[in-house]
Amino acid sequence: MQFVNTNEFSIFFGDALKSITQQMAGIGLKDIQETTFEDQKIFAVIIGIVGAHKGRTLIRISEGLVTKITEEMNCGPLPNLTEITLYIGEYSNILCGKAISDINNRYLNVDLRLTPPAIFSGTNMRIITPALQSSLLCYNCDFGMVSMDIGFERGR
């Protein structure tokens, strides 16, 4: 198997996050060094990655940005939290799908696939996933912030 440094994968996820957010919601994201969601309501989406390398993505999005993205996707406000949750899950699935498609086309035999998204919403959530080598990407825009933590199992 071709040697792959999974740290390189985070570039594909960052590019996908920015391009899909632009394409689906018309929002340009700016890179920032760090972000904090303390005392803010956020939505967190966890999507597992399976294939030759196992890992997960954790996407955290502030409520204002979730509202803007889902309204753009729906061409209008969504009626309830359930619908918002389903839409933000699909947005996350599409952007992770683009990232792993680009990775699969770039690297031989990695054949990554995604698990269905798990979506949470709340304030001051702490989500910890040990034993993963991860990269954190942070962005902001006029509507709020988004971060993406991409982690893969060590030892591959």
Partner 1 sequence: MAKYRILVIDDARYIFKAVKMALEPQGFEIVGHAENGKIGIEMYDELKPDLVTLDVTMPVMDGIETATVLFKKEPRPKIILMSAIADEGLRKSARDIGIKYFAPKPFTPEDLCQKVLDCLSDV
Using CB under 8 A, list all residues that contact partner 1: 20, 23-24, 73-75, 83, 86-87, 90, 93-94, 96-98, 100-101, 104-105, 111, 113-114, 116
Does residue 42 contact residue 60 with C-beta atoms inside 8 Å? yes
- Least CB distance from residue 116 to partner 1, whole Å? 8
- Least CB distance from residue 155 to partner 1, whole Å? 25
- Least CB distance from residue 120 to partner 1, whole Å? 19
- Least CB distance from residue 109 to partner 1, whole Å? 10
Burial class (CB in 10 A: 0-12, 13-18, 19+), 151: buried
Q: Which of 64/97 has CB closer to partner 1?
A: 97
Q: Which of 31/111 has CB closer to partner 1?
A: 111
Q: Which of 116/130 has CB closer to partner 1?
A: 116
